[in-house]
Amino acid sequence: MKRRVVVTGLGVISPLGIGLQKNWERLIRGESGISRITHFDPSPFPAQIAGEVDDFDPFDYMDGKTIKRMDVFIQYAVAASLMALQDAQLTLSELNPHRVGVYIGTVWGGLSVLEKNIDILRNNGYGRISPVFIPSGLPGMASAQVSIYLQAKGPFSSSSDGCAASTVSIGDAFRVIQEGGADLVFAGGTECLTTPVMLGGLCKANILSRRNGEPSMASRPFDLDRDGFVMSEGAAILVLEELSRAINRNARIYAEIIGYGRSMDAFHILAPSPDAEGAVWCMKNALEDAGIIPSDVDYINAHGTSTRANDRIETMAIKALFKEHAYNLAISSNKSMIGHLMGASGGIEALFTVLSIYHGVIPPTINYENPDPECDLDYVPNKARNKKINHALSNSFGFGGVNGCLVFKVFKE
């Protein structure tokens, strides 16, 4: 029999703030973390807003020498992992390092340090390039640096599967514990892409909201007036643990992870498949892996990007798989408040899904003002809802047609 896997620790950094309590409280209140970009002057760009992390101080988690060797996305990953370690009430001395893994997803890795060193090369020459440029920016260095900090010497992975990267990391971590390859894994995602090149590229792809005059209203999943997503940054780490180990140490258990599905649209580098087939298969695979049927699901944490095609096709996929039960589901998009964290989005949405199960509260989809006839399900508009959740699905549908879905359930021995 496959081993059971539970969630026992959580750490998060997002545009809503630093730490679990602040993020959850602001999410449930329906507050937006979106504002005008301050990391650089965004005025030359048609989109000038983002979900920036404002109050992060890396010196709270590491020393100055270490900080210089890390792009911000790695700093976020280390900090969120240390938060998760503390939240799980673990100490490094009690862990068998060879049974502890690290699985952290990210799309680009250190884009800011790459841009910085390209400028240095052009303006000052080869001799001024940082000697730690490469290890400070490689995508896999988030998992590597967290492993070093935690002295985790077990299974290791770094997914870069588009906007599903951290969902894939959590799902793969779930599998390795199920199958006996590890007893505990720090899993999730991290991203810091608020840079001129990334903003310019996304603007040219014509997929960002240009509602610059009202940033907090810009991300509006499933609303008829949505005009694109808002790029964001942050990190989220979940401690996944084999059940008997968690029980033996009397751990607090937030929820159990019971299913994982993947699929590929094989259609387009940016657009989702118009028949929604990939999303349907991904959710179907996750439910079958969990051993449940569609009518067992109470809540879906939607991918919900606030782009016209993605929201419509995700709605279509939900209706195709869940049939009439689709109209009984509560569905919400955290991106309405935190924007799109790219490779970290699935991780933070899985974290919020786990908290929804644990607290019995569904975060709202804010800025839902004008219903779209093609998006006609219950998106928990504008106000959080108290609801007992037995089973929840967390969806991630990424660039290139990469799809990942996770199933969580309320924990019962």
**Contact in structure between 383 and 201 (CB atoms under 8 Å):** no
Predicted confidence (pLDDT) per residue in 267-323, tens digit = 998 888 999 999 999 999 999 999 999 999 999 999 999 999 999 999 999 999 999
Measured between alpha carbons, how far is 161 from 174 in angstroms, rounded to an integer?
Answer: 17
Measured between alpha carbons, how far is 233 from 76 in angstroms, rounded to an integer?
Answer: 9
Predicted confidence (pLDDT) per residue in 200-247, tens digit = 999 999 999 999 999 999 999 999 999 999 999 999 999 999 999 999
Q: Where are the beta strands (DSSP E) in 59-206?
A: 100-105, 156-157, 184-191
Please check the confidence at residue 336 and state whether its pLDDT lies above 90. yes
pTM as predicted = 0.97
Note every long-range contact of 156-159, with CB atoms under 8 Å and residues 24 or more positions apart, other chains counting: 156/101, 156/102, 156/103, 157/101, 157/102, 157/103, 157/104, 158/103, 158/104, 158/105, 158/106, 159/103, 159/105, 159/343
> Any idea which residue has 């964001």 for tokens?
232
Query: Percentage of the chain surpassing pLDDT 70?
Result: 100
Measured between alpha carbons, how far is 199 from 214 in angstroms, rounded to an integer?
Answer: 18
* Architecture of the domain spanning 5-248: 3-Layer(aba) Sandwich (3.40)
Going by pLDDT thresholds of 50, 70 and 90, the confidence category of residue 92 is confident
Please check the confidence at residue 387 and state whether its pLDDT lies above 90. yes
Shared fold status for 5-248 and 260-409: yes
Nearest to 188 by CA among 101, 281, 298: 101
Q: Where are the domains of the chain?
A: 5-248, 260-409
Measured between alpha carbons, how far is 140 from 138 in angstroms, rounded to an integer?
Answer: 6
Contacts of 179 (CB under 8 A, 6+ apart): 2, 3
> Computed over its alpha carbons, how large is the radius of gyration of the chain?
20
Please check the confidence at residue 1 and state whether its pLDDT lies above 90. no
Alpha helices, DSSP H only, in 179-327?
Answer: 196-204, 243-248, 277-290, 308-322
pLDDT at 147 (0 to 100): 97
Predicted confidence (pLDDT) per residue in 141-165, tens digit = 999 999 999 999 999 999 999 999 9
Classify burial at 269, counting beta carbons within 10 Å of its beta carbon; exposed 0-12, middle 13-18, buried 19 or more: exposed
Measured between alpha carbons, how far is 375 from 314 in angstroms, rounded to an integer?
Answer: 9
Classify burial at 168, counting beta carbons within 10 Å of its beta carbon; exposed 0-12, middle 13-18, buried 19 or more: buried
Measured between alpha carbons, how far is 188 from 384 in angstroms, rounded to an integer?
Answer: 25
Average pLDDT over all residues of the chain = 96
| Domain at 260-409: CATH code | 3.40.47.10
Q: How far is CA 108 from the centre of its chain?
A: 14
Catalytic residues: 163, 303, 340
Please give the average per-residue pLDDT across 60-71, as a whole number: 94
Going by pLDDT thresholds of 50, 70 and 90, the confidence category of residue 406 is very high
